Structure 1
Amino acid sequence: MEFHKFIRVLLGTISFVVSYSSYAQEEHKPGNSPQELADKLANPVASLISVPLQNNLNYGIGPYNGVKYTINVQPVIPFKLSDNLNLISRWILPVVDQRNITGLNTHEFGLSDATVTAFFAPKTEKIIYGVGPAFLVPTATDKLLGTEKFGVGPSVLVMHQGKGLSVGFIANQIWSVAGASDRADFNQFYTQIFLSHSYKSGANWGVNAEITQNWEGNTTLISLNPMMGGITKFGDQVVQFSVQPLIPIVGHQAIKPDWGLRAVISFVFPGS
């Protein structure tokens, strides 16, 4: 895979489409304006169907300066349980292409393990929260890309949201409970602390910090990720774009990249 060409094409497409979109000038149903959609997409437990494709490229990993490209397919599907309670299912299925990570001149490609989260989210205003289980599912097609473990644990989201402003955090802790006996146990904490601001046009900017603590391996990885994005349309399909440099702050040499880049395209279904 030619990573440089991929990133240039992707970023060029995002820049062109966002810059020349006429979506912000269209008439919209209540709740479906560009800014309202941007705010909903900033809320992990909003009652909105979306399918983000999160592209992550990291360089300079480990002693062999490895390169890792991951595309996370992340559908978010809400279910109405009652007038005051929703169940928000969030899926993350990573497809990985990596070189020089597990050794010099090595290459692995395939699915990694999936993470599935179910948030029970009461309908509230201003202070929004959700709690539920998170599952690690051993879907990896290569043992070097996964844990061969099934895991489970709690997840939580707390955030404040006003028009144009979203701030909060999402976190989970997963322990392995079954799987290959010859593989290390999985015991990992993850949190993302985020802030974003949106405009009437659907343009938005923000910053988030991601923290991953591997208790079994006693390693910590922290990155700071500024973000800018916008909302546009491909025909009748509403789409959100965003671009983020991934700035590593803390990490063990074996897992910390020198730098990274994230580009996300989210297919949005406002009528849901």
Structure 2
Amino acid sequence: MKRKTKITALLLALSLASIAQDKPKPASGDAAELAKKLSNPIASLISMPFQNNTDVGIGAYNGSRNTLNFQPVIPISLSPSLNIITRVVLPIITQQDITAPGVKQTGLSDAVVSAFFSPAEAKNGMTWGVGPAILVPTASDKVLGTEKLGVGPTAVILKQANGWTYGALVNQIWSVAGSTSRADVNQMFVQPFFAYNWKSGAGAGGNFEITQNWEGNATAVYFNPTITGITKLGTQMVQLAVGPRIPVSIPDGSRPDFGIRAVLNFVFPK
């Protein structure tokens, strides 16, 4: 765990150090094309987003939780007509006063690894991807994870036209192995999303994050509106995003009063 923490701290330090560099803006055509690709979760584009979510006023003890999602996306060309887009979501959590007053947990949560088989070229602005999703029990504290290995299908469909992007991503995961003392995982995640990008690379949009826990018969819904922009940190192209996290429907005992999302996305155009 110490080694993982040091690696995470080093990545964050490098990110913060880059912010102090000069920020020349990319050409508007490059920025517009990048913004379009970044609105597409299965675009053929290598990116390394750090998505930070802070929620406060949670539950009976007025707790707080900070979740830094490390979400690298790596496309692989299988043929001239077919790509596979690999995506990883690895949460790093710090929470206080969630399980009991004065109690704090910090560490890794479970990772979700997805692979989307997708056409190399969109048709009439429409594209799609389908493949497996795997829940990997990487949590460093049992409070922060499920202690279960899970698998299931995932899919995404979207359309892009006239600056707009809209679509939805979905996955369903069932546990297949892990601790027998923990509840089984039977969970669906649905994420409708939309965005509008201007020629400058700036954009505005949002998504709904809907998590349905079939095992516990509980539904959580967040709405995340964001504004985005493309710039350079030194020579590195990045996308920045910020916006509130609005709890629409959260199970009793875990609803936050409010939250905020900020994203620093390192982009590596081909």
State if a TM-score over 0.5 links the two structures.
yes
1:53 matched to 2:55? The reply is no
Is the counterpart of residue 231 in structure 1 residue 230 in structure 2? yes
CA separation in 2, counterparts of 1:99 and 1:216?
26
Letter in 1 for 2:93: V
Partner of 2:94: 97
Change (3 A) 1:216 1:84: same
State yes or no: 1:88 paired with 2:96. no
Give, in whole Å, the separation in 2 of the partners of 1:216 and 1:194: 26
Structure 2 gaps, min length 5: 1-15
Letter in 1 for 2:161: G
Q: Aligned residue for 1:165?
A: 164
Does the residue aligned with 2:36 lie in a helix, a strand or coil? helix
Asked if the contact 1:61–1:253 (Cα under 8 Å) also holds between the matched residues in 2, the reply is no
**Is the partner of 1:257 in helix, strand or coil?**
coil
- Which residue does the alignment assign to 1:10? none
State the shift of 1:163 in Å.
4.3
1:34 corresponds in structure 2 to: 31
Compute the RMSD of aligned alpha carbons: 1.6
Supply the AA of the counterpart residue of 1:161.
Q
Bigger drift between 247-256 and 233-242 goes to 247-256
Aligned mates of 2:72, 2:234 — CA distance in 1: 21
Q: Distance in 1 between matches of 2:58 and 2:147?
A: 23
Kindly state the Cα deviation for residue 182 of structure 1 after the two structures are TM-superposed: 0.6
Query: Structure 1: where are the runs of 5+ without partners?
Result: 1-12
Distance 2:114 2:55 in 1: 25
What corresponds to 2:67 in structure 1? 70
How far apart are residue 255 of structure 1 and its match?
Answer: 2.2
Aligned to 2:140: 141
Are the aligned partners of 1:34 and 1:202 in contact in 2 as well (CA < 8 Å)?
A: yes
Q: Is the 8 A contact 2:28 2:201 kept in 1?
A: no
Supply the AA of the counterpart residue of 1:164: G
Equivalent residue for 1:267? 266
- Equivalent in the alignment of 1:23: 25
Provide Cα deviations, 1:108-155, integer angstroms capped at 9, x if missing partner: 000000000000001323111000000000000001101000000010
| Consecutive aligned runs of 4 or more in structure 1 exceeding 3 Å deviation | none
Distance between the aligned counterparts of 2:87 and 2:60, measured in 1? 34
Distance across 2 between alignment mates of 1:27 and 1:52: 22
The number of aligned residues is 250
In structure 2, the residue corresponding to 1:93 is in which secondary structure? Answer: strand
- The 3-state SS of whatever aligns with 2:34 is helix
CA gap 1:156/1:27 in 2 versus in 1, 3 angstroms: closer
Report deviation, 1:253.
1.8
Amino acid corresponding to residue 66 of structure 1 in structure 2? G
Return the offset for 1:226: 1.1
Alignment partners' CA distance in 2, 1:191 and 1:101: 25
Deviation at 1:251, TM superposition (A): 1.2
Distance 1:207 1:72 in 2: 17
* Residue in structure 2 matched with residue 244 of structure 1 by the alignment: 243
Where 1:37 maps in the other structure, the secondary structure is helix
Query: 3-state DSSP class of the match of 2:98?
Result: coil
Q: 2:178: which partner in 1?
A: 179
Partner of 1:114: 111
Q: TM-score, normalising length from structure 2?
A: 0.89
Deviations 1:219-268 (A, max 9, x none): 11111111101000011100000002001111112222111100000000
* Residue type at the aligned position of 2:115: A
